[in-house]
Amino acid sequence: MSSRRERTLEVEGLQVSVGDHLVAVQDVSFAVARGEAVGLVGESGSGKTLTCRAVLGLLPESGEVDSGRIVLGDGRDALELTGARRATWDRVRGVRLGAVFQDPASYLNPSLTVGHQLTEQLRVKRGSSRGESRQRAIELFAEVGLHDPAGVFHRYPHQLSGGMLQRVLIAIAISCEPELLIADEATTALDVVIQAEILRLLQRLRESHGLSLLLVSHDLAVVAETCERILVMYGGQIVEEGPVDEVLGNPQHPYTQALMGVATIGDWRRRRLEVISGQPPAAGERMPGCRFAPRCAYASAECLAGPVPLTEVDEVRSVRCVLHASIAERRAVGTGREVSA
């Protein structure tokens, strides 16, 4: 588990609100160890993007971190990001923290060549000379799998495909050797072949650069293939976490079980999550107990008694469900009811 490994990121008790003080992310705690790939999954609106954006200091204008701690690095390199000033963010974002998102074109300037944009990053963030940064840019373009990197250097964003643009963005994101790369739905818009190539590239970069990865995806298959650990979010909270194989192989939270149900185990690879019946709570919706209770076939009065903490099941797994032990028992003896899905 990550506690025995050097930490790249620690998020503790994070609460984020949006709009008119609507709590959209609450009590979110997790860590990413050095070189580890952690996947963040959940339905649309569950708070995945706001969690990542809080870590990156890029919340929307109406968004705010109400409480909690975000610490980048470990030991002597540990840096508290909560409440950091702009100058600190300038030193961290793009340097110790890299990010890639779903729509790479919108993060590039259409009127500058991609080579220019990468060299600017190297010049501004690393203080490299013009010649050094040009040479390094071409090396980085080659490293992210762009053919004819010297030719690509002179291209404008509109001259490149979506997959090529995502590679350019990855080259920019890793150019300053960050400790952590956040990839928020970075392969969602790409076709499956390109998606697989980009995921392989991220794996390779993890190995060659000792990079930690926080990968947000709707797609359980993407996380299963790429990550060691998974965080399942529901209604702004983490409801289950643990090693990917164990969580997907034997989900403990009824929501994770339902996700696996709709994704049809055995034939779910490469499928996107489909919608589970019922609606998740909206941002800011106050609920007395478990936020999944209205959609859960196991729900009882106990579930509504008060806030449900994320509880350790064993050394490596945690679940936010007061009934998880009895549900696991019922499932083990084959009498568990199926969750409505």
Query: Could you tell me the smallest distance in angstroms from the CB atom of residue 333 to ligand ATP?
Result: 35
Please name the residue that has the structure tokens 């990968």.
215
46 lines the binding site for ligand ATP (CB under 6 A)? yes
19 lines the binding site for ligand ATP (CB under 6 A)? yes
Q: Do the beta carbons of residue 115 and residue 137 sit within 8 Å? A: yes
**Looking at beta carbons only, is 19 or 151 nearer to ligand ATP?**
19
42 lines the binding site for ligand ATP (CB under 6 A)? yes
129 lines the binding site for ligand ATP (CB under 6 A)? no
What Å distances lie between residue 336 and 37, 84, 130, 318, 320, CA to CA?
32, 48, 65, 20, 18
Beta strands in 235-320 (DSSP E): 237-243, 311-312, 318-319
49 lines the binding site for ligand ATP (CB under 6 A)? yes
Query: Could you tell me the smallest distance in angstroms from the CB atom of residue 24 to ligand ATP?
Result: 3
Query: Could you tell me the smallest distance in angstroms from the CB atom of residue 235 to ligand ATP?
Result: 9
Contacts of 248 (CB under 8 A, 6+ apart): 220, 224, 230, 260
Query: Could you tell me the smallest distance in angstroms from the CB atom of residue 227 to ligand ATP?
Result: 17
238 lines the binding site for ligand ATP (CB under 6 A)? no
Query: Could you tell me the smallest distance in angstroms from the CB atom of residue 261 to ligand ATP?
Result: 20
Residue 198: which of 179, 176, 173, 231 has the closest Cα? 173
Q: Do the beta carbons of residue 17 and residue 23 sit within 8 Å? A: yes
Give the footprint of ligand ATP on residues 257-296 (CB under 6 A). 282-283
Q: What is the DSSP letter of 78?
A: -
Query: Could you tell me the smallest distance in angstroms from the CB atom of residue 283 to ligand ATP?
Result: 4
Q: How many residues does the chain have?
A: 341
CB atoms within 10 A of CB 61: 6
**Looking at beta carbons only, is 100 or 137 nearer to ligand ATP?**
100
- What x-and-dash track marks residues 172-211 binding ligand ATP by CB under 6 A? ----------------------------------------
Total chain residues near ligand ATP (CB under 6 A): 16
Q: Do the beta carbons of residue 102 and residue 189 sit within 8 Å? A: yes
Q: Which of 3, 44, 67, 311 binds ligand ATP (CB under 6 A)?
A: 44
